[in-house]
Amino acid sequence: MLLTGPEGLKSLTEAYASHSAIPGFVAYNLETVQAIVAAAEAHPTHPVLLQAGSSPFKHAGRDPLMRLALDAAATSSASLGVHLDHSRDLDEITACLKAGYTSIMVDGSHLPFADNIALTREAVRRARDHGAWVEAELGALPGDEDISTNATTTPTAMTDPAQAADFVAQTDVDALAVAVGNVHGFTTTPVTLDLPRLAKIHSTVPIPLVLHGASGLPTPQLQGALTRGVAKINVNAELRRAYLQAVQSQLPNALPGSDVVSIWTAGRQAVTEAASRIITQLSQQP
């Protein structure tokens, strides 16, 4: 079942109130879309965001992946929103909204503060015309969305609580992605979130917060985030690793017969299992 924008926003605010979180899983192709949907169907009471966004579009093509995600969500028994992740392009945002996306993330974090506000306000205006809710980002989150680069976060790159309050007031966004020590992808050293900073942001920003780069985050850190306003957790690298490890283990058996189906099947099952574990973890109150 494809959640409408208002239904998805209601689910997000309910997660915010209960100190749980909605997972946003990034999908790149048919198998990862199917895997995420299967995991969601195994947890019918917990909404899931299927994130077919800007970065995966570069691999699969915007229209094919967009239609695949929307059709999979619409025909599923699970409660699924389809979310445009990390978009910096208003034309892309408009195309996805017109196609039926239920939420979008406009990413102006690379821009000066005033320009980020301007871009975000326009994205919000367009999303409202289509009944979708909007996530924005403030603060510089290091790392790569598609490849683990062992990036680290510096204090100057983190989200400023006072600036976050100003940003939300001027843009009317529904959720805010923050930089509090989180990093895109896996790192060689454990990630340590700046939980006091996150608490300050939570106290000044009256909307749900979003944590990108949650793959491999230690459970105490994750639980600390959930009690400090985080109601949406993005997961990408953990699913990618599960897929690749399954493919690697299956290759010796598949190569002699050029059996690509067994490779795709193993990868899909591994992603389903990883996503299912994460849904269970996020549904448990700290």
Conformation bin of residue 269: beta by default, left when phi > 0, alpha when psi is -120 to 50: alpha
H-only helix segments in 100-140: 113-129
Catalytic residue chosen out of the listed positions 85, 160, 174, 194? 85
Catalytic, 85? Answer yes
SS3 sequence of 149-213:
CCCCCCHHHCCCHHHHHHHHHHHCCCEEEECCCCCECCCCCCCCCCHHHHHHHHHHCCCCEEECC
- Alpha-carbon distances of 206 from 13, 194, 230, 257, rounded to whole Å: 11, 19, 11, 57
Active site residues: 85
